[in-house]
Amino acid sequence: MSGGLLVAGTTSDAGKSVVTAGICRWLVRQGVKVAPFKAQNMSLNSFVTREGAEIGRAQAMQAQACRIEPSALMNPVLLKPGGEQSSQVVLMGKPVGEMSARGYHGGRQQKLFGTVLDCLAELRGTYDAVICEGAGSPAEINLRRTDIVNMGIARNAGLPVLVVGDIDRGGVFASFFGTVALLSEEDQKLVAGFLVNKFRGDVSLLEPGLDMLHGLTGRRTYGVLPFRHGLGIDEEDGLRVSLRGTVRESNTAPPVGEDVLRVAVCAIPLMSNFTDIDALAAEPGVVVRFVDRPEELADADLVVIPGTRGTVRALEWLHERGLADALKRRVAEGRPVLGICGGFQVLGEHIEDEVESRQGEVEGLGVLPVRVRFAPKKILTRPEGEALGERVTGYEIHHGVADIHGGTPFLDGIRVGQTWGTHWHGSLESDGFRRAFLREVATATGRRFVPAPDTSFAALREEQLDRLGDLIEQHADTDALWRLIESGAPQGLPFIPPGAPA
């Protein structure tokens, strides 16, 4: 078997990443050697492979669903937005420059197509099946000519396409029909059918609509996945204007101690790797909330400033919102603050940035004895170390180089009183360290909080991936899905007018 499938979506955030991970976990449980692939990803949530390559976190999680090590082959092109107009282009895990959307779609994208196809071919030569994830919608008619992630790759690699629609948003039938009808005749031949995601209620009420959709398009629906809380894998979207009020979901046990710990995460612009917070949210008795107002820090036991693709912009935002002064007061009062990567950098005294913002010398919040200089070469490592008497692993993704002149060492960063700063992402996924850190926070705040002694973040992630696999196994037509992966799109699928514009 050397099969493949492209999971496309009617929109961004339709559930492509989750469905891809679920299909991967279902296949690997059947004894299939499978790998994920996303030709081009736009995300501020990224991960570092063992070889020191930067890829999207969603692909890293999909690799975990396949029970294999992630590699740059699985996400050859990663775009990291630096604002509304430009992105850093990461090719095969290494940054190759900044580019505007017009410049990228105007020619650079097509030049990367050969690399993308070579990576997919290498994966297909190594694994029994490769489950590819598209981006946005395949019916972006303004971008079809330069497409290398949706129908462009499906056509070149001969992949059948499964279109996922989020019925919880509404309009799913129109979205399915319109997606097919806006594709060219050659592209339509590869669209095998549909998968409904996030359905609530009695599926029998949906079936007449699915029958009508089949009659209109000649394409079947391969499954209806029910809505389930807490099933999202690492999100790609780090460009939301504000996440204030959003609480990280986690299926956990009741608190062990008498108190809970409240964690406020500053929803800074261009927030990256906010998935660092997931390990805190997985702890019984820890409530995690994204905030963007100074008064929302008042009752927080711990404030986290996460990573960002725009350190200087994040610093400006903290001042604009009044959060900078609130953070300084908090530090002066000895109340816990944790800065991760860009969040660590803004806590320092001085930032010299001719790389990311190109604003030169900028004053930081000045609460940690650190001076940061942005270097052209990005640091991409998988460090290991010890903190609070516990072993810790993590990963680093940053241009900023920290010159530390005081304080107590902490994960290659620094601690001063109850203010902590580190460039390490993922450190809170180390169970022993996370528990020790939360005990420190509880002591500093006088909370009668006790970390659960047996929470395993890795085990919770495995359970989550198994639940995704269960969704596919229990609510999709897996026999038909297997035939699709193994044999490609059915022959004789009808053309649905009008097709793509000339």
**Active-site amino acid positions:** 341, 425
Angle of helix 323-332 relative to helix 311-321, nearest 10 degrees, comes to: 90
Distance of CA 282 to the CA centre of its chain: 17
Separation between Cα atoms, residue 275 and residue 17, nearest integer Å: 15
- Which tokens in the block code for residue 86? 């430009």
Q: What residues pair up with 35 in beta bridges, in sequence order?
A: 130
Separation between Cα atoms, residue 271 and residue 145, nearest integer Å: 31
Separation between Cα atoms, residue 456 and residue 283, nearest integer Å: 9
Separation between Cα atoms, residue 269 and residue 115, nearest integer Å: 32
Q: What is the residue-wise DSSP string for 58-69?
A: HHHHHHHHHTS-
Separation between Cα atoms, residue 227 and residue 279, nearest integer Å: 23
- Which tokens in the block code for residue 380? 């991409």
Angstrom CA distances, 471 to 164, 224, 320, 446, stand at 14, 9, 44, 43
For 227-358, list the strands marked E by DSSP: 261-266, 271-272, 286-291, 302-305, 307-308, 337-340, 350-353
Query: For residue 498, is the peptide bond before it cis, meaning its omega torsion is within 30 degrees of 0?
Result: yes
Beta carbons of 68 and 472 less than 8 angstroms apart: no
No. of H helices and E strands in the chain?
Answer: 16, 27
In the numeric block, the tokens 């000895």 are attached to: 334
In the numeric block, the tokens 């004053």 are attached to: 363
Separation between Cα atoms, residue 500 and residue 502, nearest integer Å: 6
81 φ, ψ (degrees, to nearest 5): -60, 140
Separation between Cα atoms, residue 29 and residue 23, nearest integer Å: 10
Sign, CA dihedral 188-194-198-201, equals positive
- Going edge to edge, which strands form the sheet with 261-266? 286-291, 261-266, 302-305, 337-340, 419-422, 413-416, 408-410
| Closest to 19 measured CA to CA, from 184, 189, 195, 180 | 195
Q: In the Cβ-directed half-sphere of 253, how many Cα atoms lie within 13 Å?
A: 11
